[in-house]
Structure 1
Amino acid sequence: MSDDVEGATRTNPADRGPRSTLFDLFKNNDDPNVTVEVNKYIWQASLDVLDFLPIQSVDPFTGVIVTGYGTPPGGGRAYRATIHVTDPALDARSLKVALESRGGTVSAETVQAVEDAILTRARQLRVADSKL
């Protein structure tokens, strides 16, 4: 005689899929194709340094800030920027800045100066945050 009830099916516990445990909470299971992390200090520093530019779009999930044209204080040339924060590390490799003026391309020295200003401000924010 069988223990099966007519019409009922038994499932094998191994067929139920992976089991979660308490230790799964402490694992880093983030899929880099789904989760994007950006450095909060570089993000905020970018907004601080380029605050004279009007923001067109901001996406903290992909790390992209796009601005419209604006003129820096004391300057006569209008610029617009696209900033890409690519990594959660406070590192120069985590920051990509593209500048454009109404007249076309911007010199590499100008782009480098903006990147340096953003990274300097990011470090200042981090130091100020660690003093809390």
Structure 2
Amino acid sequence: MTFQNRFKIVFAGLALTAVSACGLAKPEALTPEAQAKTTEERRETIWDIFNNSNPDVSVSVNRFIWNASLEVLNFMPIESVDPFTGVIVMGYGTPPGGNRAYRATVYVKDPALEARSLIVALQGKNGRPVSASTQRAIEDAILSRARQLRIQDGKL
């Protein structure tokens, strides 16, 4: 038996041992009260991270820019959101009164309410990026709305 064959056998044995060890804590072994508690603990929404009092879990995006992005681009369907990295991916949508469909990716990269905290990438149906002036107009609309939300919040 060659060294490679021995290595494969040992590796396969270790892999089987590791996989079988993962099944030690089965949910069936828990009492009904413990199962209900673990089910209740898992009932969280993505929005709970913004209202979290645990200092170990933090989101490093500006909530005003985040909410303003969702409001300004509400004509586009949301494909995915990740508040931990600050990325919002939206599908194709036509703005009210417009005739061209766009899709957007929004990146909120800083917790500060500043223009450098926001990057918006817009794309037309043809797959090409939109003009710089259109992109700047969307960014300005998001930042203006974010400032309005900050003023409404009253924590100045």
User: TM-score w.r.t. structure 1 length?
Assistant: 0.72
Q: Tell me the equivalent position of 1:99.
A: 122
Please give the secondary structure, in 2, of the residue aligned with 1:69.
strand
How many aligned positions are there? Answer: 101
In 2, Cα distance between equivalents of 1:115 and 1:105: 15
Distance of aligned partners of 1:37 and 1:72 in 2 relative to their CA distance in 1, 3 Å threshold: same
Q: Tell me the equivalent position of 1:121.
A: 145
Please give the secondary structure, in 1, of the residue aligned with 2:93.
coil
In 2, Cα distance between equivalents of 1:86 and 1:105: 21
Please give the secondary structure, in 1, of the residue aligned with 2:136.
helix
- The answer as to 2:95 corresponding to 1:72 is yes
In 1, Cα distance between equivalents of 2:151 and 2:96: 26
Shift of 1:42: 0.2
Shift of 1:36: 4.9
In the alignment, is the contact (CA less than 8 A) between 2:121 and 2:129 conserved in 1?
no
Task: Return the structure number with greater relative CO, CA threshold 8 A, min gap 6.
Answer: 1
Larger helix percent:
2
In 1, Cα distance between equivalents of 2:119 and 2:129: 16
User: TM-score w.r.t. structure 2 length?
Assistant: 0.61
Encode CA deviations 1:26-79: one digit per residue, 9 max, x unaligned: xxx98xxx9650000000000000000000000000000000000000000000
- The answer as to 2:125 corresponding to 1:108 is no
Kindly, what percent of the aligned residue pairs are identical? Answer: 69
Shift of 1:105: 2.1
Please give the secondary structure, in 1, of the residue aligned with 2:74.
coil
| Uncovered stretches (5+) of structure 1, i.e. residues with no partner | 1-28
- The answer as to 2:49 corresponding to 1:49 is no
